[in-house]
Structures are given as structure tokens and as C-alpha cells.
A and B are shown apart, each in its own frame.
Chain A
Amino acid sequence: MGTITFVEHDGTPHQVELEDGSSLMELATNHGVPGIDGDCGGEASCGTCHVIVDDAWITTTGTRTDLESQMVEMSPECGPNSRLACQLRASPALDGLTVHLPEFQM
């Protein structure tokens, strides 16, 4: 049903099959995308699934919620498009989405 691309900090892209209903964190960890840990299992309480949404996509995904801000704003790499991948649900609307990974997870 489409793909999502995770781009590592060094530019290496990883294309992952989009599965409706999964979170982007689950997609990444299930497909072994390096650089996403997901230590809290998707509860927005560890900050280790930080992604930076490509500018072209931020209106589609929307910006982060307060819940996400609490964790992700602690990261020195946090920017306006920073989100927690566990709080982004995959759906057909996100087919073709590109997100960038920070150099380090917290």
C-alpha cells in the first residue's frame, strides 16, 4: 500500500513498506531501520524514536503534540518538524513520506 522513507543522519535512505495502523516507530524497528530504538514501546515516554519530518510533508503529518514536546524538546537536535515516530500512525495518506533521523537518540 505504499512506502515510507527513513533517511539516516549520514544520508542513507531506508524504504519501508507502509502497514496501515502501525506507528512509524513500529515500522522502523520491525524493519531494522538503524537509529530508532523505541525503548518505551510507543508510549511517548522515552524520546528514542525522534524523527524530523521532511518540510514537504509537515502539513500532512501535522506538527507535534504537547505530549511529544515534553520528551523531544529535551534533545539538542530538536527542530520545528521534530516528532516522535511512535505517535505517527501509518495510513495511505502518508504514502511517499520522508522523515529524517537525528544523529543521536536521547
Chain B
Amino acid sequence: MFEQTTTKRETMTTNSTLFQRTKVRVTDTVQATVPVDRVIQSVALTLKAKRLAGMMKALRFEERPIPDPADVPLEEIDVSNPFMNRQGQWYPYFARLREEAPVHYQPKSPFGPFWSVTRYADIQAVDSNAEVFSAEPYIVLGPPPFNAEMFIAMDPPKHDVQRRAVQGVVAPKNLKEMESLIRERVQDVLDNLPTDRPFDWVERVSKEITGRMLATLLDFPFEERHKLTYWSDTISGSADATGGTTHQDELFPAAVDLARNFTALWHDKAARRAAGEPDGFDLITLMQTSEDTKDLIKKPFEFLGNLTLLIVGGNDTTRNSMTGGVLALNRFPDEFEKLKADPKLIPNMVSEIIRWQTPLAYMRRVAKRDVHFGGQFIRKGDVVLMWYVSGNRDERKFENADDFIIDRKNARNHMSFGFGVHRCMGNRLAEMQLRILWEELLERFDRIEVIGEPSYVQSNFVKGYSDMQVQLTPKPVREQTPVRVEATSGA
């Protein structure tokens, strides 16, 4: 599937033979200096220790029909069920919680007890208060497969230092430099789509474009980009962490592979720069040219944590927004007509897509002290989930919140990127990526029709799709007019 769409772009790709060569050299020489194998070893030990300590329950989930929310006693409601989204039950459950128990306690979920905060204003208040609500030690409901050092799960001041060191790669200034490369790669994907039969949009468009974007961001060998997607899916699909389908035996090899590849990537880049290759706009170059991070490889946990965070953070979020946007325009066909009549609505529509989709359902916090909140008494150490997926449908904030309205006035107020110090670092990249996709789609296609129903991912964290069949109708050739929209500061 990849070969089909990549042939034209060979000139822009990282030289893979060089990469292979460096990899060999790296494993020869670097083991002495860079403790990557120590990292891997420690991951293995942590996993083993956790298993021995009974900390990893190895959760497995079996799908059963979820009753309607009205038929369940309030105190038994468990919105962490990883099949909620697939069965279309999240929204009705959250509607009930927002009305009857906006700060709700679930005492005995498979992941342990947790609070749910479901109203827009309350979520914003929790997210903005890092002093009381800590993002440590992790931001998914259950324990993640291994403790990579990621600043998304660190409190200030440590968080701020680490974020500042890497955020330049997705800062708007750098994005301007990357925009044309990202656009070319999108165009290439779209130009190779079939128009004579339905195909899986998730695989051919959403995954493919996101994989290319991540490869661009890291200057990762282009032909190996599916690895980025694989690692990211494996990590965020952990059953114990999010109710997904990845189990422990798959996690370890993925972690090893990731650690080895990213370490090789660093040394490959250093070698190429030493050989006189001009500096690019990718993350590794950025790290190697910045005083604060030029030796980051000597702190392998932090180095790997930052790279892992970027691929996990940028992967299924953007991917599911690409699928969700098409689905939304099919559910609300008048909006597609509105869009075709006025392509200048694309930037605002991008925000509305991200609101309507809410790719990450929640972030987790832990109360650092006893606190009265929303009429409830939350104790020190309690787990609190901020359900963005609910806040984005809160009628107190968004009129007709369940409707997809591409010119919605306050679409940018959505909470899909979170608020406060952890507010999504990749938000401008995500917006740019989606804006480019829709500009290029409108130039090419008259209809983008969803055939049947999409399949939904099993997870209580990632709100996404595993398959969606789409039939494209190309525009009649003579009608093609450029619809490129000037970027506002927002996109």
C-alpha cells in the first residue's frame, strides 16, 4: 500500500541506505557511550517488576451491550467502559452526568476509583490549576506500559523547562518553513486515491498523511514511517492504560525497536550534519543546534520520552480528526454545501471538526490536596478525569452542541487541546495539517461520500475510527479553481 503512493517523492526522503549504514555503525560504537541498551533493559525490568508486584492486572475487555443511561443508577455509571464510543453511548451518558452529577464518583471501575468532571467551566478550572491538580505520574486512566519521561505528565517547573526545549519544532515560525513540504505530501496522497470504488479512508488518507507528517517532523526515514504509526498505536492502545487492545507481550518489542531507532536517528543526523548536510527544520536538528538540548542523547530517558510524546501526541489525534471531519460533513450534508460555496470557512471548520471529534476524550489529574470542588469533596490522591469529550458538548457553552456547524462563532473555544500549562503543543501543526487537507480536497473532489458505518476504536481515551469506507467523486476538470485560503494567525 505504501509503495503505490510514494514513488514520486523519493528525492525528498531521507537517504535510507545511509540510515542503515549509520544504524550499523551506531550499534557498533555507541553502546559504549550511549546507554540505550540500559534504557531498554530498564524498561524490561520495570515491566517485570510491575508484573511480579501484581501492578499489571493485564486487563482484558469483552464487549457487551451497554444499557441506556436512564436505566443505570447514577452511582453505578462507569464512563471508562472502552466500548462506550463504539456503541454511541458516551454522549447520552455524559448528558446525564452534566445535568445530575457534574462532578461524579465511580468507586470501582476496572481501572480503580475515579472522579469525572463533565461541564465545560469545571474542566477548564481543573485544567488551569496545576497547583492543586497534578498531571503526574501519568495522564491516562490506568498505568501506562512504561514510564517514559514525558513532560505532558510533569508539573511545573520541570514541565516548563522540558517543553521549552522542544516546542520550537512545532512553533508557527518553523511550521511556515515546513508547510510546502507537508502540502506536497498531502497532494501526493490525494492524487493517488481511487475514484472508481470505495476505499478505507482511515488507512489510505488519515494514517498515511499523519505518518508522513510525523516523518517530516522528525526527518525519520520516509520509507520506514509506518513504524512511527505502529509504535504510537501500540503504546496508546494499551489495555491496562486505556482499555485498548494492545497487551504486554507486544509492548516490549515495540519499546526496544523505538529506542534503537530513535537513538540511531540522532546519530545519523549528527553524522550527516558533520558531513556538511545543510540543517533542516526537523526536531533532531533543532535539538542538536540548541544549547540546551545538544547533548540530550546523554539523557536517554528524556530524549526518548520527548520523541515518544511527539509521535503519540501527534498521531491518532490528527488522524481521527481527518476521518471525523469527513464523517461530520456526511452527517450534516448542508454544511458541505456551505463549505463548497465559501472555502474561506476552512480555518473555522477545522476548529469545529476538532471540537466535534474531540480526538482525546480526557486527561487525568491527581488531587495534590483535599479540595472542595463542584459541591463534592475530593481527597488528596484522588484521580480526576477531565472529560473534554463532554465539555465540548456542554450546552452551557455551545449552542446546539451536538450539531456540526462549520461557521460556529465560538468554535475556537473548544477544549480538545486542553487548557493551562499543558495546552497542546502541536495545536498549530494540527490546524495547519487539517487546513491543508481540506484545501486540497476541495480542489479535487465534488463529493466525499461515507459508505456504510465506520468502525470505532476500542478505548476510553482515544476517540477514533479503525475503518471508514469512502467513495470519491472528482470535480469536473474545467471547474478546478484554487481555493487556497490565506492563513489567519489561527491556522
Residues of A within 8 A of B (CB): 34-41, 43-47, 70-71, 73-74, 76, 103-106
Contacts and interface: CB of A to CB of B under 8 A. Distances in A.
Interface string B117-128: 000000010011
Interface of B: 124, 127-128, 130, 156, 160, 163-164, 167-168, 171-173, 410, 412-413, 417, 419-421, 423, 428, 488-490
A46 B419 contact: yes
Given A44-B128, A70-B421, A104-B172, A39 B489 contact: no
A34 B160 contact: no
A37 to B, nearest CB: 5
A39 B484 CA distance: 24
B128 A76 contact: no
Nearest to B488: A34
A46 B423 contact: yes
Contacts of A40: 124, 413, 419
A45 B167 contact: no
B173 A104 contact: yes
A41 B413 contact: yes
27 contacts: A34-B488, A34-B489, A35-B489, A36-B489, A37-B489, A38-B412, A39-B413, A39-B417, A40-B413, A43-B419, A44-B128, A45-B128, A45-B419, A47-B423, A70-B130, A70-B156, A70-B420, A70-B421, A71-B423, A73-B160, A74-B164, A76-B167, A103-B173, A104-B172, A104-B489, A105-B172, A105-B490
B124 A43 contact: yes
Most A Cβ at <10 Å: residue of B128, B168, B423, B489: B489
Given A37-B490, A39-B412, A39-B413, A45 B420 contact: yes
B132 to A, nearest CB: 14
Contact of A76 (B168, B420, B421, B490): B168
Given A43-B419, A45-B420, A70-B421, A37 B171 contact: no
Contacts of A36: 489
A71 to B, nearest CB: 7
Contact of B167 (A43, A74, A103): A74
A51 B330 CA distance: 40
